[in-house]
């Protein structure tokens, strides 16, 4: 699962929307750009965006810095700007696309290389508090059958 915080711009500093993935082993061709399709699990709303791979070691991992710009009209999907207005769970799909500019925003033109879950965190609310009770381990104090005689 990856996480993106609303209202946080991309960049390499601490606290940025830095998403690390392993895509190179699933990518069928090079050079490649990656198209991201985000789908809200509650509303079905979709958002499409390209984001440049910023990894210094792409054979080992891929690194993306997203700018979440909810509240700004017209985010630029050509450069990693996304508007995810609903906090909560989203599904993400990553497509390998030919490295062309301007980027093609049609996912049917690419090869699906990864899917997963995205947690969108609201920058206006505190971190959620867990309300589920703690896990209680069963007691193993009952006697163990040691293979005694049957009646």
Residue 136 belongs to a domain: no
Return the ∠ at Cα 72 (arms to 8 and 129), rounded to 5°: 45
Query: How confident is the model over 52-99, as pLDDT tens digits?
Result: 899 999 999 999 999 888 766 678 888 888 999 899 999 999 999 988
Query: How confident is the model over 27-50, as pLDDT tens digits?
Result: 988 889 999 999 999 999 999 999
Total domains in the chain come to 1
Give the domain CATH number at 58. Answer: 2.60.40.10
Question: Is it the case that residue 108 has pLDDT exceeding 80?
Answer: yes
Residue 45 belongs to a domain: yes
Q: Which band of pLDDT confidence, cut at 50, 70 and 90, is reported for residue 136?
A: low
> Please, is 86 exposed, middle or buried when counting C-beta atoms within 10 Å of its C-beta (0-12, 13-18, 19+)?
middle
Residue 137 belongs to a domain: no
Residue 82 belongs to a domain: yes
The answer to whether 95 and 35 have CB atoms below 8 angstroms apart is: yes
Query: How confident is the model over 6-19, as pLDDT tens digits?
Result: 888 755 554 578 89
Q: Looking at residues 132-147, what average pLDDT do you find?
A: 58
**What's residue 73's pLDDT?**
64
Residue 146 belongs to a domain: no
Range of the domain at 45: 2-121
**What's residue 133's pLDDT?**
60
Residue 133 belongs to a domain: no
């Amino acid at each position: 699962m990856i996480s993106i915080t609303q209202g946080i711009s991309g960049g390499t500093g601490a606290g940025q929307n830095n998403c690390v993935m392993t895509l190179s082993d699933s990518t069928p061709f090079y050079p490649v750009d990656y198209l991201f399709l985000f789908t809200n699990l509650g509303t079905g709303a979709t958002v499409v965006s390209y984001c440049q791979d910023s990894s210094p070691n792409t054979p080992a991992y891929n690194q993306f810095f997203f700018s979440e710009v909810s509240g700004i009209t017209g985010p630029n999907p050509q450069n990693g700007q996304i508007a995810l207005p609903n906090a909560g769970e989203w599904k993400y799909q990553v497509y390998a696309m030919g490295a062309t500019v301007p980027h093609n925003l049609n996912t049917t033109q690419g090869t699906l290389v990864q899917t997963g879950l995205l947690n969108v965190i609201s920058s206006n609310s505190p971190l959620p508090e867990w309300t589920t009770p703690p896990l209680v381990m069963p007691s193993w104090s009952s006697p163990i059958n040691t293979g005694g005689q049957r009646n």
